C-alpha cells in the first residue's frame, strides 16, 4: 500500500481508505448501500489491514449511527493498528439541537461518535457540511478545544464551497486555531467539478482531498453500458436520485474508454477509474466501499500499477467538460493560463 501525507499535515494515510457506509443497513438509503453486520465487517477489516489499508471512514448519519457501532465492534482490540475518520453536522433527528456545527452540537456529536466507535480519540474528524448559521470562529474554537482535549487528532471539512473553506482557513490562521487539513469531496471521472476551484485551493492551502464516491455513485462499476438496462442488483434503482447527477452520454463516453483500457491492461473498469484518481493532484486518499470480500479485493487491485501517459490523456479527454464561469472562456487564453496555471 502506498502512503501519502494528508494535505500539509504530518498524518500519513493509505492511498485507499475503506468507506463504512455499507455497515449497519438502517434506513431506506443506507439499506440500499449494504447491511454488513459486525462479523462480516470484521472480516473486511482483516482483509484491509492485511493489504495495508489502515483508514476507515464513517459518519454519525450513516445508518443512524449503526455504521459507527458496527465499525467499532469490528476493530475492537486493534485500535492502535488503524485510523478512524468520522463526520458530523448533518441532521441526526428532528430536534433543534440535532444538526449543525455549534459548540454544544459538536461536543455532543464527538462524544456520541467516540462511544459508538468504542475509542477515546478520532484520528480525522470532519464537518459533513458547512453550517451557515454558526460563525466560523465558534465552530473552529469548539473543534480546537476538542483537539486540545485529545479527542480529535486532525480536522477536515466535507462538501464545502471554495469560499466556505477559505473563510474557515483564514479564520483559523487569524485566531491561531487548528486548521482543516482535509476536504472530503466528490470526485470521479464523471464528476470533475472538484478541479475548478477546490483543487487549486487545496494545492495553495495544503488541504488534501479525501475522495468519496470515486466510481460516480456506482456508475463506473463496469456493469452499466450504452443501450443496456441497469443490472438488477444495482443500487442505482433505489439511490440514483440521492447522488450526483451524471449525463448519460458523458457516462457512456467515459465507459467506452474504460472498456478499451481494460482490454489493454487486463485490469477491471473500477480499477482503472480508481487508478486515474490516484494520479490526480491534491488527492491524499480515495475511499472505496465494499459489500463483500470480492468487491474489496477488486478495489484493492487499483494500486501497485499505473496507467501510462497516453492512457491518462485518453481518460482526461473522454471525461472533460466545459468549466463553469469564471473559468470559461478565459481558461483557454495563453495570458490567463500563464497567470493561472491549472491544478490538473
Q: Which three cell numbers stand for residue 267?
A: 485490469
| Per annotation, catalytic residue among 62, 154, 186, 187 | 62
Contact between 278 and 286 under an 8 Å Cβ cutoff? The reply is yes
Annotated catalytic residue 186: no
* Signed CA dihedral, 202, 206, 212, 213: sign only: positive
Active centre residues (catalytic):
62
Amino acid at each position: 500500500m502506498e502512503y501519502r501525507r494528508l494535505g500539509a499535515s504530518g498524518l500519513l494515510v493509505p492511498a485507499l481508505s475503506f468507506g463504512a457506509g455499507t455497515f449497519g443497513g438502517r434506513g431506506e438509503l443506507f439499506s440500499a448501500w449494504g447491511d454488513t453486520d459486525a462479523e462480516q465487517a470484521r472480516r473486511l477489516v482483516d482483509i484491509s489491514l492485511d493489504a495495508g489499508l489502515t483508514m476507515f471512514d464513517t459518519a454519525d448519519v450513516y445508518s443512524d449511527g449503526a455504521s459507527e457501532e458496527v465499525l467499532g465492534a469490528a476493530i475492537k482490540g486493534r485500535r492502535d493498528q488503524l485510523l478512524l475518520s468520522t463526520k458530523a453536522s448533518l441532521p441526526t433527528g428532528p430536534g433543534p439541537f440535532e444538526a449543525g456545527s455549534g459548540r454544544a452540537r459538536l461536543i455532543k456529536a464527538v462524544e456520541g461518535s467516540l462511544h459508538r466507535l468504542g475509542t477515546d480519540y478520532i484520528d480525522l474528524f470532519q464537518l459533513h457540511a458547512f453550517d451557515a448559521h454558526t460563525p466560523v470562529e465558534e465552530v473552529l474554537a469548539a473543534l480546537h478545544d476538542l483537539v486540545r482535549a485529545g479527542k480529535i487528532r486532525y480536522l477536515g471539512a466535507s462538501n464545502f464551497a471554495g469560499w466556505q473553506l477559505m473563510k474557515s482557513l483564514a479564520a483559523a490562521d487569524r485566531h491561531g486555531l487548528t486548521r482543516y487539513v482535509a476536504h472530503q469531496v466528490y470526485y470521479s471521472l464523471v464528476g470533475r467539478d472538484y478541479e475548478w476551484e477546490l483543487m487549486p485551493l487545496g494545492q495553495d492551502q495544503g488541504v488534501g482531498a479525501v475522495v468519496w464516491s470515486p466510481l460516480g455513485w456506482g456508475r463506473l462499476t463496469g456493469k452499466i453500458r450504452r443501450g443496456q438496462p441497469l443490472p438488477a442488483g444495482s443500487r442505482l434503482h433505489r439511490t440514483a436520485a440521492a447522488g450526483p447527477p451524471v449525463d448519460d452520454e458523458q457516462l457512456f463516453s467515459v465507459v467506452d474508454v474504460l472498456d478499451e483500457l481494460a482490454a489493454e491492461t487486463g485490469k477491471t473498469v473500477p480499477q482503472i477509474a480508481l487508478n486515474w484518481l490516484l494520479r490526480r493532484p491534491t488527492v491524499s486518499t480515495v475511499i472505496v466501499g465494499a459489500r463483500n470480500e470480492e468487491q474489496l479485493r477488486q478495489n484493492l487491485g487499483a494500486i501497485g500499477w499505473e496507467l501510462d501517459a497516453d492512457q491518462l490523456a485518453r481518460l482526461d479527454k473522454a471525461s472533460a467538460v466545459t468549466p463553469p464561469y469564471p473559468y470559461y472562456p478565459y481558461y483557454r487564453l495563453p495570458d490567463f493560463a500563464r497567470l493561472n496555471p491549472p491544478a490538473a
